[in-house]
Structures are given as C-alpha cells and as structure tokens.
A and B are shown apart, each in its own frame.
Chain A
Amino acid sequence: MTALHLAVALDGAGWHPAAWRSPAARPRDLFAATYWKSLVAEAERGRLDFVTFNDSLTLQSADHFAPDQRTDQVRGRLDATLIAARVAPASDRIGLVPVATATHTEPFHVSKAIATLDYVSTGRAGVQIRSGGLAGEPALFGRREFPALSAEALQSPQIQQLITERFDETADFIEVIRRLWDSWEDDAEIRDAATGRFIDRDKLHYIDFKGRWFSVRGPSITPRPPQGQPLVTVLGHGLVPYRLAARQADVLFVTPQDAAHGRQILDEVRGETDATGRGEQLLVFADLLVFLDADAGAAAARKARLDEWDGAELFSDAQIFTGTPVALADRIQELGELGFDGVRLRPGVLPADLTVLVESVVPELGRRGLFQPRYDRPTLRDRLGFARPASRYLLANGSAR
C-alpha cells in the first residue's frame, strides 16, 4: 500500500462543543493570532500535509436549522482565510486550507484572496469551498430568499431540487475562481523597457463566464499564483457533492462510518469521476473525529465528561474515534486498505488531541510506512503529488504561438 496523506481540521477549541471546558483548552485565546499560530506550528512539527480552518458565515448553533440561545458553547469565529493569511509568514512548509463559502459571496473576491494566500505562503494555499447553508445565511445578506428549513422539509423533492441547484451554482463558482487563477499566464509580466510594456497583454485572458446565477468577465487583478492552481477541496456527504468534487475539486473529504460505508462511498465517488474522466486527479480523504490518550479508557472517559458537560452525546457527521494512538493507526491503516488517499483528523479538543496526534500517531504511521512526510517539496500541490498545471488559456492558444 502506498503512503497516505494526513491533514488536520482546526475549529475553535476542538470539534466537541464542550471542548472549550477541558482543562487542556485555551478558550480565552480563540480569537487571538497566537492561538492559531501555535496550532499550526504544532501541526507543522508533525509534518502534516495541510491544515484546514473551519468556517461558516452564520454564528455556530446547536440547532441545525436556526440560531440557538445557548450560552454554554463556543460562539464566534474569525474569518478563516484571514487566519490562514495571518499564520502564513509564521509557518514554512504546511499547507493552509481555509473554508470559504460560495452562494452569497463573490467568486472574484474569493479567487484573489486565495491567490494572495498562495503568494504570502509561497505556494501552500488551498481552499475548502462550502455551498452556503440555507438556514440563516440568506438573511445576513438580504439578497436572496430560500425557504425555511426543517428536518422533514429537507426530504421534500422541492428542497432536494434546490440543494442540487445550489451545488450546481457552487460548481460554477469554482469554475470561475479557477479560470481567474488561469487568467494571467505565468510569464505575463515582461517589464520590457524597450517597448514600454509592463505586461504582454496577449497573455492575459478574459474569462467571459456566463452562467445561470452570475457572470464574471475577468481577468483577475491578481497575477497567477505560485502554484498556478491552489488546492481546491470540498466536503461531501452524498452523490450531489461527490459529483461537484468529481467535476471541480482536487481533494474530497468524506465521512465513512465503517468499512462497508467507506467502500460504498469510494464506489460512488469512482462512478462520478469515471463520468468526468478526472479519476486520478481527485484525492479522497476520510474524516475522523478523534479523542486520543495513551490509555483507551482515558480517552473514552474524557469524551464522556465532555458529553456530560454539554448535556448530550456528541453528534458528528464524521465517525468518532476514542482510543490509543496505536488503535487510531490501525483504523487509518484500514482506511488506506479500503482505497482512501488520505485522512483528515478532527481533534476533539485542541490543542490536546493534536499534540498526541503529532507525538504518537504520526511516528506510529511512519513506522508502518503509512505516512511519509514530503517536506522536501515546497508547494502543497507537489506534496500531494499533483503537477503544476499550465494555464488553460495557454493550452487553448498553444498552437497559435
């Protein structure tokens, strides 16, 4: 089996809603740069491929469909792209992948923000694009209306249709940010004093995107970023997002609950990538939410105490793992044997579970040959084994030159 890729998803005090109450947490630092710098430094110490920074536009809520009134969980979050930019000069090798929301935002702004993240991190930028959630988000912008949601409404054909459309819109969104990254060829800046030309304008391209939801002319105001195309990632829980990923993403995060489910997901994703012909170009990562301790009982007890504080058993879209580093390595090995390209671990409590991960899980995976950090490769794309793509416009015009 070839080695796996390893990523960590960062969110607040950790992925358990009561994580902030853990003695190991630093809840007063959640909005300070030092906190994020120390987390990223820790992940970099473990030579992980990349970290993601979770985000959403709405305030966190325990109710999936509406804001809640709870005062006992972390509320408040900084913009993920700006956190990533803030830590970029303080880190050296690790990939930085913030979540950005489509649907309400401008692809032009997102494109240049991620391109700039690629500049400030010298080739380590990516983005996790999420479609705008229906609940609460449209009212923040006041530009679009979506029907009110509930668990039952979610099953109606009308809402299902709407969700499919939203993912189609997200596919357009990604298409536009990618075209904008390509809209300057790499060597467009010529500084030709003899002719007085700063750029060769034949190497700049209007993207002229016209879609159902928006149109964008381009080119970008930001030159092509160091990686050409920063890494595009998507989290998906079903066929509709898998289709989006197959069309537009480099990495897809999925949430297998067990081996059978993992196999089923991989089959479904393969079905979608076969249809697009992008099979090799999409890496599939399994997400796991983890509580780690040297002793399996201690990890479970730690989680149980957090559940008790929160007044409910932890619920997550991802499978929840409690146990020892060796047991987690076993689980990761199984995922690798199923055919996943990597895993993204969501620490239950930060920084505690990240630290165990770095100090114990990573070396264990290394011993088994399951993880070989590629910190000799400077860009995130390199590290994941992707070539640096040429601008699509260069390819389109190649024969004319």
Chain B
Amino acid sequence: MTGPRKQIVLGAYLGGVNHHTVWSDPAAGSQIAFSSFKHVARTAERGKFDFFFLAEGLVLRERLGRIFDQDVIGRPDTLTVLAALADVTDHLGLVATLNSTFNEPFELARQLASLDHLSGGRAGWNIVTSSDAFTGANFRRGGFLRREDRYVRAQEFLAIARRLWNSWADDDVVADQQSGRFLRRPDAGAFAFAGQQFEVSGRFSVPRSPQGQPVILQAGVSPEGRDFAAGGGPDAIFSPYWTLAEAQPFYRDIQQRAAAHGRPPGSVKILPSGAFVLGDTEADAIERHHEITREQISGRGAQILLETVWNRDLSGYDPDGPLPDVDPEPEAPLVIQGRARLHQNVFETVARWRAIAEENDYSLRQLAIHEFGHAEFVGTPTQIADRLDSFVQNDGSDGFILGSHLTPGGLDEFVDRVVPLLQERGSLRAEYEGTTLRDNLGLPAPASPATRAAG
C-alpha cells in the first residue's frame, strides 16, 4: 500500500442485554451500576477509542407471554448515563441509540443538543426505527405505525432535528454585559415544519452546540437504508459484513451512493459491530471461544434462540438431539416478543440450518452455538490486530464497534494487548488530536447557518 494508512475508527459497547454476556462468570459485574459504565468508558478512552456506544431496547423480552429470565436484562436510560459519563471522560464520544418511533423530535433534539453542550461536543445519535405494538404498549403513541410509515417518520424526525439544531447560529448568543445584548437576533431558534408525520413549530430552546450537530449513526443495509445513509446524511452506518468479499462491495456501494448525493469521500463511515476473544496462542483463543459460547448458550438457551426463527414452542426438543422436525410457523402469534427479527425468510433459514447441521452432524444446541455464538474476532493479539487493520486498509470498513462477553472488564484485555499493536502500525492514534467526536472521526463541522434573513 502507498499513501498514509487509514486510521481505524473504534467504538466500544458495553455488553448489555443479550445472550452474549456471560453473567455467570465470577468476574462478571453489574450491567446497571454506574461503576460498570465508568469502567468501560475509561478503558475505551485509555485505548484512544473514538466513542462509547449504547444500544437500546424499550421493552423487556417475553417468551410465551412471560418475561424472559435467561439472559441479562435491565438497563439504564441512555442519555442520562451518557451525560454522567461525560464527567468521567475527556475525549471519548458518547453515542446513544434512540428510537425515532417512540420519541418526539423536539424533545430528543433538545436532549441531544444538551448532551453535546455538556460533553463539550462529544454527542452522537444512532437512529433506530423499531416499532411494534408490543413496545408501543409502554408509550402514549401506542404501536400503530406501519413499517413504511416508520421510515417516513424517521426521515422527517431527522429533518426536524437538523432544522432545530440549525435554528441557532454559532454566534447567536452574544451575552455582552456592557451593551445588555444577550441574543444577536430576536428570532433565534424559530422553526416550523409540516410533513406527513409531523406538524411542529415554535422556538428551539438550546443554543448551537459545540459540534453544531451531534454525529448521526444509522443501522440498516436494505436499499432504503442505504440510500438514507448515503443521502440522508448519517455520518456513520453499521454494517453486518465480516468477510472482505461481502464487505468491500457494500463499502463501495455506500461510497458511490454518497458521492452521487454530492458528499465528499470519507463522509460516511462504515462500522461493523462485533465481539472479540483473545488468547496467548491461536489454539488458546479458539478453546476460550468454545468455552465462552458454551456459557452463552445453554441447552435451554439454544431452544429459545431457535424459537426466534421457528416461532413455536421448542421446549420439548432435546437440545442434544437433532433439529426440530417441524416447519416454522411465521404467521402464529409470536413466541418471543421484544427481540429484533433478524431473519426475513424463516423457511430459507431453517433449510440452511438443516443443511449445516447435517453436514457437521450438529445437535440443536451445537447449531445454535454455531449460528448465534460466534465472536467475530478470535485469535492472538497480533492476529486480531492484523485482521482489523487489513480489513480497514483494504476498504472492508472504516473501523469497528467492539464489545466483549464480560461486563465490565472485558475491554481491558483488548486495550492492553491489541491497541498498542495497532498504534505501532500507525493505524490508531497515539493521542487524541481534537476535542469533539467529529474531530476524532475526521468529520467536518457542519457550517453554521447565517441569520435567517441571509439564509
């Protein structure tokens, strides 16, 4: 390769509410105490990560109408915990996953702008759109939004948020004690928007924040999702692609779509999210990975994971026996509620799984471990550093959002053992260059709007 090395973008997530977290490990701590969040965020900052990332789920999962009790559950309010983390970190970006269906644009834009002020320009927002009547039962709005409308709402939601963030110019707060002028103009913050989902107007109450606008992230790879990411203006997009063969075309596609929308190269970062397992030797790492997946997915857990696709009660099938000999029932009432549906065509998925099980002679549980238990990076520190670096240098992605099976200490090992190797290669910063999340990511600050009259 010629030219400067691409810098690897790194985000850290706290292994939260899912079957990936091994809560029975003696070293496992609380997923709710602030000390856990503080530990992971400080570790990430020690490793010169770009940001700390929090996922969101607005309802407790259920199985057959009862609260699901097998995995870690219980999480804090995202924005509140990020605001507190701003006090115990100095450079780390603070990225919140927040749903556009069960929030209102004025309120959320105000909270995100507040977080940006309170963190000195480190706020980010990962927009998600999940909506179902099940989650809706916790909210005034209820669960009535159709799938298509969710995206209309998300688009309008972001458009309004941006309009609000742009309703104050950088220099609207004068605060000149001598002249007695606090505001530069009488209508700072004025806005009005009328669309299919929203009709809102008034004055936005938060002056322009250090980043102008929080960094926007988005998750989704459907054609609509891609266009939204490329043209709608998210600064980063999650991708699920792990092999260069899959990742490179996606990377090129997004860059082309962004260019077609007139966005400069590099203005949309692509970030797969995944977990790592380290070992002193490759064999160690693989062995440890096996142990972890066995902890993650019990026999009971395996039945339940497969129920997310079969959508029928599989508790009668032996976890150490063959796959269920029945077809999935996608039209039946949901067995598992409150978990993102990841498989569109369940018949195809089941057929694929049967083939895998047959080829490898897998039991129900072994299949579940194979499908749901993988950590994306398994190896020695050097192997993992190599793999992350070559993935980025070859345009598979711009970086990664990393987590571990162990809360809150899992990231320590990565920061102690892998980060120095990436720094030696010149692929990861040795020191933070700027102060804001945009600085970290090398994204330009959005231009400050001039006065309303001039604009």
Q: Do A and B come from one complex?
A: yes
Q: CA of A37 to CA of B119 in the docked complex: distance in angstroms?
A: 13
> Chain B: interface secondary structure?
loop
Contact: A76 with B201, CB < 8 Å?
A: no
Q: CA of A214 to CA of B88 in the docked complex: distance in angstroms?
A: 38
What is the distance, in angstroms, from B23's C-beta to the closest C-beta of chain A? Answer: 6
Beta-carbon contacts under 8 Å, A307-331 to B? 309
Selecting from A19-27, A159-167, A264-272, A372-380, the interface stretch reads A19-27
Contact: A143 with B84, CB < 8 Å?
A: no
Contact: A198 with B114, CB < 8 Å?
A: no
Q: CA of A143 to CA of B137 in the docked complex: distance in angstroms?
A: 18
What is the distance, in angstroms, from A197's C-beta to the closest C-beta of chain B? Answer: 5
A278 interface hit (Cβ, 8 Å): no
Q: CA of A37 to CA of B298 in the docked complex: distance in angstroms?
A: 47
Specify which of B70, B74, B76, B301 is in contact with A189 (CB 8 Å cutoff): B74
Q: CA of A109 to CA of B186 in the docked complex: distance in angstroms?
A: 33
Contact: B175 with A28, CB < 8 Å?
A: yes
Contact: A221 with B118, CB < 8 Å?
A: no
Beta-carbon contacts under 8 Å, A91-123 to B? 104-106, 108-109, 112-113, 115-117, 119-120, 122
B358 interface hit (Cβ, 8 Å): no
A191 interface hit (Cβ, 8 Å): yes
Selecting from A133-141, A284-292, A354-362, the interface stretch reads A133-141
A369 interface hit (Cβ, 8 Å): no
Contact: B70 with A115, CB < 8 Å?
A: no
Q: CA of A76 to CA of B80 in the docked complex: distance in angstroms?
A: 20
A261 interface hit (Cβ, 8 Å): no
What is the distance, in angstroms, from A28's C-beta to the closest C-beta of chain B? Answer: 5
Q: How large is the interface on A (under 10, 10 to 19, 20 to 34, 35 or more residues)?
A: 35 or more
Q: How large is the interface on B (under 10, 10 to 19, 20 to 34, 35 or more residues)?
A: 35 or more
Contact: B58 with A31, CB < 8 Å?
A: no
Given the interface pairs A67-B202, A120-B34, A140-B202, the reply to whether A79 lies near B110 with Cβ below 8 Å is yes
What is the distance, in angstroms, from B92's C-beta to the closest C-beta of chain A? Answer: 14
B87 interface hit (Cβ, 8 Å): yes
Q: Mark B98-135, 1 if CB is under 8 A from A, else 0.
A: 00001110110011011101111000000000000000
Q: Mark B52-71, 1 if CB is under 8 A from A, else 0.
A: 00000111100000111111
**Who on chain B is nearest to A56 by CB?**
B205
Contact: A86 with B202, CB < 8 Å?
A: no
Selecting from A199-207, A233-241, A293-301, A382-390, the interface stretch reads A199-207
B144 interface hit (Cβ, 8 Å): no
Beta-carbon contacts under 8 Å, A23-45 to B? 23, 25, 27-28, 30-33, 37
Contact: A112 with B76, CB < 8 Å?
A: yes
Contact: B177 with A142, CB < 8 Å?
A: no
Beta-carbon contacts under 8 Å, B152-208 to A? 168, 173, 175, 177, 180-189, 198-207
Specify which of B77, B180, B203 is in contact with A72 (CB 8 Å cutoff): B180
**Who on chain B is nearest to A17 by CB?**
B182
**Who on chain B is nearest to A36 by CB?**
B118
What is the distance, in angstroms, from A176's C-beta to the closest C-beta of chain B? Answer: 10
B75 interface hit (Cβ, 8 Å): yes
Q: CA of A88 to CA of B34 in the docked complex: distance in angstroms?
A: 11
Contact: B84 with A86, CB < 8 Å?
A: yes
A395 interface hit (Cβ, 8 Å): no
A333 interface hit (Cβ, 8 Å): no
A350 interface hit (Cβ, 8 Å): no
Given the interface pairs A57-B205, A113-B77, A201-B69, the reply to whether A71 lies near B183 with Cβ below 8 Å is yes
Contact: B187 with A69, CB < 8 Å?
A: yes
Q: Which 4 pairs, one residue from A and one from B, show the smallest C-beta to C-beta distance?
A: A85-B83, A69-B186, A120-B84, A116-B80
Name 27 interchain pairs, CB-CB below 8 A, sorted by A.
A21-B180, A30-B175, A31-B117, A59-B205, A69-B187, A70-B183, A76-B188, A79-B114, A81-B80, A85-B79, A90-B87, A108-B139, A109-B77, A115-B77, A140-B201, A142-B199, A142-B201, A191-B23, A196-B298, A198-B70, A199-B69, A201-B69, A217-B138, A219-B67, A221-B58, A222-B75, A223-B74
Given A33-B87, A120-B81, A204-B67, 8 more A-B residue pairs with CB atoms under 8 Å apart are A71-B185, A75-B189, A76-B168, A78-B206, A191-B23, A198-B72, A213-B140, A222-B32
Chain A interface residues toward B at CB < 8 A: 18, 20-21, 23, 25, 27-28, 30-33, 37, 56-60, 67, 69-79, 81-83, 85-90, 104-106, 108-109, 112-113, 115-117, 119-120, 122, 136, 139-143, 184, 189, 191, 193, 196-201, 204, 213-219, 221-223, 309
